Amino acid sequence: MATYDPRSAPLFGPGSMLQLIRSGDGTTRAELVAHTGLARSTVAQRLDQLFAHGLLREAGESESTGGRPPMMFAFNHDAGVILAADLGATHARLALTNLGGEVLAEETGEIEIARGPEEVLDWADERFHVLLREAGRGDADVRGIGIGVPGPVEHATGRPRNPPIMPGWDAYPIPERFTDRYNVPVLVDNDVNIMALGEYWMQWTEMDHLLFVKVGTGIGCGVVVDGAIHRGADGAAGDIGHIRVAGPQADDVTCACGNVGCLEALAGGRAMAARLSSEGFAAADSRAVVDLARAGEPAAVQLVRESGRLIGEVLAASVNFVNPSVIVVGGDIAQAQEQLLAGIREVVYQRSLPLATRHLRIVRSQLADRAGVIGAAVMVIERVLSPAAIDAAIAAVAPGERAFAAG
Ligand SMILES: [Zn+2]
């Protein structure tokens, strides 16, 4: 994770103090005094504020070098909950997490994103309510809502932008659908970005730069630079599915986007399913490709490997450009078997510059189907626990009231 620099905050308020404690940079009074340069009495006052608002807990005594061992402080992950949704084209996963991104309750459901925002979001809202009840929490415990959708999103407003597979969703104000009931931040991003964030936050925060490649029906990439999602000027960063692949086989294939030779049109799950169908296999979608490959069907195994090589070509160029420490490969097809990763590794290590691959790791997603909901929750946690948000939340409540519930 990008190192938090407390000097960049306007004041060393309680929010900055909490950030130091969450990052592990300051867990005792002495460490916090050393990091902030504040007087001991001021640090004590800030800690009292954080305790009073339910944000801290005592985490035992640290190793003593003589004398009374100092008390250690930790963030109270149970100071509230986050509602998270990962909405796909035909499948959704919902979760309730604590403020550490730990899943407390979850469920999956079949949806049709193409039936439009009213129907899909009504369903999500109703199921959120059930998850809260199951976990013994109420609406007032909810600190924020994070939602991932299978299309481009204007992150600042939470509105989808000309999403190709989401008819009826263009410019629909998703956050407004939830703010009436909960009055908390509602953040929306595309599914690949939230998966990248989830994977990064749970496994790779010691790295600064990561690429997350989703290989499902289509192909997309989430880009983490300096510990944060890089969205680009219009939210289109990482759209590697529509980069043109070199080679004669690319010239014959027209993509859904209208261009010829796109990576997705050659190596995506839908393309592979179509190819296997034309060869006489029962392969309706990317999941059928996974099933055939897992069963060891040679045509499917070979196709997945070849798909990996094509993705590797585009990633080799991306590696030279971004110089990530790790590439995480997720999505349905990544769960098929090792052939996809093998194909990607083969080409990336062969084609990228040695300097860019010297420390590069290419791994399979560890969170698998859960990467999206965890990332959606993390996106919100980082917002609502930011120093400015904490200071504002504490300033907004009347004396004697708590800004956060105690868990
Ligand atoms: Zn295309």
Tens of pLDDT, residue by residue over 111-155, are 999 999 999 999 999 999 999 999 999 999 999 999 999 999 999
Cα of 242 to ligand 1 centre, how many Å? 4
Query: Which DSSP string do the residues of 320-367 spell out, in sequence order?
Result: HHH--SEEEEESGGGGT-HHHHHHHHHHHHHHS-HHHHTT-EEEE-SS
**Residue 219 belongs to what H/E stretch?**
strand 219-225
Q: What percent of the chain has pLDDT over 70?
A: 96
Cα of 403 to ligand 1 centre, how many Å? 47
Cα of 344 to ligand 1 centre, how many Å? 20
Cα of 260 to ligand 1 centre, how many Å? 7
Q: Does residue 307 have a pLDDT over 90?
A: yes
Cα of 405 to ligand 1 centre, how many Å? 48
Cα of 175 to ligand 1 centre, how many Å? 29
Cα of 281 to ligand 1 centre, how many Å? 25
Is 332:287 a contact under the CB 8 Å cutoff? yes
Rounded to 5°, the CA angle 46-137-83 comes to 80
DSSP collapsed to 3 states, 8-67: HCCCCCHHHHHHHHHHCCCCCHHHHHHHHCCCHHHHHHHHHHHHHCCCEEEEEECCCCCC
pLDDT (tens digit per residue) in 385-403:
999 999 999 988 877 788 8
- CA distances to 60, 75, 98, 245, 254 from 406, rounded to whole Å, are 18, 11, 12, 54, 56
pLDDT (tens digit per residue) in 199-249:
999 999 999 999 999 999 899 999 999 999 999 988 889 999 999 998 778
Cα of 240 to ligand 1 centre, how many Å? 9
Question: Which amino acid type is present at position 269?
Answer: G
Confidence of residue 407 (pLDDT cuts 50, 70, 90): very low
| φ and ψ at residue 255, rounded to 5 degrees | -85, 160
Cα of 164 to ligand 1 centre, how many Å? 11
Residue in the structure block whose two tokens are 């997490």: 97
Q: Does residue 1 have a pLDDT over 50?
A: no
Cα of 255 to ligand 1 centre, how many Å? 4
Cα of 339 to ligand 1 centre, how many Å? 24
Cα of 217 to ligand 1 centre, how many Å? 13
| φ and ψ at residue 103, rounded to 5 degrees | -75, 125
| φ and ψ at residue 250, rounded to 5 degrees | -75, -25
Q: Does residue 170 have a pLDDT over 50?
A: yes
Is 316:345 a contact under the CB 8 Å cutoff? no
Cα of 81 to ligand 1 centre, how many Å? 39
- Residue 154: strand, helix, or coil: strand
Cα of 250 to ligand 1 centre, how many Å? 11
